Copies of this chain bind each other. A is one copy, B any other.
Amino acid sequence: MREKLKEWFDSTKTAVMVVMIGLFVVMAMPFSAFAADPSGAETLAQNPQAPIDYVWVLVCGFLVFFMQAGFAMVEAGFCRAKNATNLMAKNTIDFVVASLVFMAIGFAFMMGNDYKGLIGTTGWFLHGANYDVGKYLMFFWQLVFAGTAATIVSGAVAERLKFKAYFLYSLAVSAIIYPIYGHWVWGGGWLAKLPFGAGHVDFAGSGVVHTIGGFVGLAGALVLGPRFGKFGKDGKPRAIPGHSITLAALGTFILWFGWFGFNPGSTFSAHQLRIAVVAVNTNLAAAAGAAVAILLVFMKTKKWDVGMMLNGCLAGLVAVTAPCAWIEAWAAVVIGAVAGTLVVIGVYFWEARGVDDPVGAVSVHAINGVWGLISVGLFADGTYGLCTTSEPLVRGLFYGGGYGQLIAQLIGAAVCITWAFGLGFIAFKLMDKYFGIRVSPEEELKGLDIPEHGTPAYPNFYTTNQN
């Protein structure tokens, strides 16, 4: 009997279904007493200027959502045709899982009433007093960010992770890892209150989103080990070219486009006209990152490396995400240029250490997420505060702010790395012990599309032996 129960729980479908059903049952709780302002009439009466802020936040949120398509295209483009269906599945399911789980518990952990600076404790299932236009707006915004954090991981673990594991770590990221760290920085938690500078600050999430996603991805890549054929018998890395540069470029453009929601929208208000500065800085960092990355590789190989240019662009975007509201245009160029350099170094660095990150997600998001956090402590120019024009203004070393802000940024970065890598490593190790997270060698060589999904991505085309 006990055996049978265990077996019952072991099977994937049941485990997943239990989670889902549990979730639904709780949600179908007695229909909530309506508190707050579900129609928006009172909110509008109190603040007749609210509509423009709602429009701004929603439209920017839509753009952030659209980044899911960008990640899907970039990852598919940089991976092989035999895993393209799998990557589509992963990049869809992570946002699907994030949507449901973040609504159930993630949002409460992140933005609920603070408990000792550690965690939020209210807002489960958007119930009761959370049936309010302002709360729903906040939820929507935080959700699309949670989904981004979850999706970053998939690039680093591509082409060898079981779909089931993807399902479960998406759940872990969007229910626990992302929202709790997010609470510390954006939910009124302890990092925001560090007694250095203006506390640890991260305007749009170089740390909260990208460092978190990147280091969970690194943990996954380490637990998984490299793909077959990535390293020769001599241990030297070999290039495994992606199957569609056009899709990779399209994905990068979509991400760049979506980032114009990600960064400027993080003011959470259109009344912060600083949004114009944020948009410009975002764009300049992307351009500088792309330019430097392609030039660096050209100097080494005499080839204009498109993949590296695209990653340089994304690296610039990741890095400028934390400082974008607190810097001048020239600083955005410098931050982006450094990011473009770091991503090139990063790709070689990880390869040289036997880490296989198929799309460069670790170099783009983990490394440059950290660089973005640090750059605030250097370049913040003291003209703007925490999403407002009021004090405290954020000021870094180069603008006479001393070391305070830099220290706050370094502490935050260290915590972020430890939290994301630690929990990510535990999660992947646990799953690996429990059911084995890597597909079989036969499946990996054949590609994951048919064994996991039953469908090749491109059945009408002849494909080469993709190893």
Contacts and interface: CB of A to CB of B under 8 A. Distances in A.
Contacts of A91: 249
B459 A462 contact: no
Contacts of A222: none
Contact of A125 (B41, B80, B283, B330): B330
Contact of A283 (B34, B97, B140, B246): B140
Interface stretch (A181-189, A194-202, A295-303): A295-303
Given A133-B277, A270-B54, A280-B136, A92 B40 contact: no
Interface stretch (A57-65, A114-122, A228-236, A436-444): A57-65
Contacts of A127: 330
A55 to B, nearest CB: 5
A244 interface: yes
A386 interface: no
B69 A254 contact: yes
A464 B460 contact: yes
A95 B76 CA distance: 24
A85 B139 CA distance: 40
Query: Which one of A50, A53, A290, A458 has the greatest number of beta carbons of chain B within 10 Å?
Result: A458
Nearest to A452: B304
Contacts of A85: 245, 306
A256 interface: yes
A99 B453 contact: no
Interface in A1-50: 12-13, 16-17, 20, 24, 27-29, 31-32, 34, 37-41, 43-44, 48-50
A290 B92 contact: yes
Contacts of A381: 31, 34, 38
Contacts of A95: 287
Interface in A96-142: 96-97, 99-100, 103, 125-127, 131, 133-134, 136-137, 139-140
A274 interface: yes
Given A17-B295, A69-B257, A245-B457, A309 B93 contact: yes
A126 B276 CA distance: 13
Interface residues of A, number: 143
Contacts of A270: 51-52, 54-55
A309 B89 contact: yes
A304 B254 CA distance: 26
A84 interface: yes
Contact of A62 (B80, B97, B136, B260): B260
Interface of A: 12-13, 16-17, 20, 24, 27-29, 31-32, 34, 37-41, 43-44, 48-56, 58-59, 61-63, 65-66, 68-69, 72-73, 76, 80-82, 84-85, 88-89, 91-93, 95-97, 99-100, 103, 125-127, 131, 133-134, 136-137, 139-140, 143, 163, 241-250, 252-254, 256-257, 260-261, 264, 270-277, 279-280, 283-284, 286-288, 290-291, 294-295, 298-299, 301, 303-307, 309-310, 313, 328-330, 333-334, 337, 381, 383-384, 389, 398-399, 449, 452-464, 466
Given A62-B63, A72-B253, A100-B288, 17 more contacts: A13-B295, A31-B398, A34-B381, A40-B277, A55-B270, A65-B283, A66-B257, A88-B249, A88-B306, A89-B294, A89-B309, A93-B291, A133-B273, A245-B457, A307-B455, A460-B463, A461-B462
